[in-house]
Amino acid sequence: MSPRDTVEQSASPPARPRALRRAKPRAPSAAIFAFIAGNPTSLDSLDAAQEQADAVGRRRVDIPVRKSFVRSWDEESPAPLAEIYVGGQSGLVAVKLYLALLWRCAKTPYETDKPARAWATLLDLPDPNTKGARRVANALKTLQQAKLITVSAQAGHPNLVGLAMEDGSGRAYSPPASAYQFARTDQQKQRHMYFKVARELWLDGTIQALPGPALAMLLILLAERADKEPAWFSTAAFPRRYRISHKTRAEGTRQLVARGLLTTDRQPLASTKNASVYDEVRKRTLYRLTDRTFTGPNTNGG
């Protein structure tokens, strides 16, 4: 170093000590509020959800899911939700992981190579680096067998996971909103009808903490637009559409009500023309999701 360089360096103003630098104030995240409120979801999981939301940005604020994931349009075959969710924890992890992948893969080519431990952290699985990562690996196999994703090995890197259509057909994924707009026939429009899962349900830890029956019923009620208006099911139509047992339906409803996500109301059916005062009053249950599940409007009327 020359004497001139030494003089020029000594003449420059001294750096401000790090401790004295004034940091830009940062608003508390949803994770902090959820953690303070006593949410059972870990702070690591809430931080991972916020990091994912920041990475995705405005490309996918809420998570679009085609109705064909939860509802069978063909009564001969169940929808993917009923196939991969069998009431156990393994099926529950697969459903939550698929929702997380739909959230993450928001732009072409709709794929990601995030490691299994990262997904295990987001889903708040115990021991995310070991047991949790293995559960994610098993869930990926389940989703691959259901033709909901593709998995490609990468030497020296985590597997590359790509989205496939939510109906389990194995077709290449495309965003449902644009697909619906360009659909020409009613059958094509039906294939691309979708609902949205609120991002806030990830950011406040609700999705991570939901048990299986509650998550299944939440997705079904969102598909039935119960976040927009009261919904009801006929005894015969529900099992045909969703292939979910009566026990799962009842338990999931109870769990959603207990968590403040759903309200129910028993409403008497209109009397028939020849009704008698001695006839039994028939009633139906109306389901209405609370504002915690609300999202922006869909562009397909679904």
Residue 57: left if φ>0, alpha if ψ -120 to 50, beta else—which one?
left
What is the per-residue pLDDT for 272? 59
> Is residue 94 within 8 Å of residue 243, measured between CB atoms?
no
What is the per-residue pLDDT for 35? 47
What is the per-residue pLDDT for 129? 97
Task: Report the C-alpha gap between 251 and 197 in whole angstroms.
Answer: 21
User: Which residue stretches of 105-245 are H helix?
Assistant: 116-122, 131-145, 176-182, 186-192, 200-203, 206-209, 212-223, 237-242
SS3 32: helix
What is the per-residue pLDDT for 9? 42
What is the per-residue pLDDT for 3? 46
Q: Cβ contacts of residue 150 below 8 Å, gap of 6+?
A: 144, 161, 162, 164
pLDDT along the chain (302 residues), means of 10: 43 44 44 54 96 91 94 85 80 97 96 97 97 97 97 94 96 92 85 94 96 96 91 84 90 95 83 59 83 72 52
For residue 153, what are the CA distances in angstroms to 158, 160, 300?
Answer: 7, 6, 36
Q: Which of 224, 265, 269 is nearest to 244 (CA)?
A: 224
Cross-sheet strand order for the sheet of 157-163: 111-112, 157-163, 149-154
Residue 170: left if φ>0, alpha if ψ -120 to 50, beta else—which one?
left
Q: What is the per-residue burial (b if ≥16 Cβ within 10 Å, else e) of 29-45?
A: bbbeebbeeebebbeeb
AA letter at 236? A
Backbone Cα Rg of the chain: 24
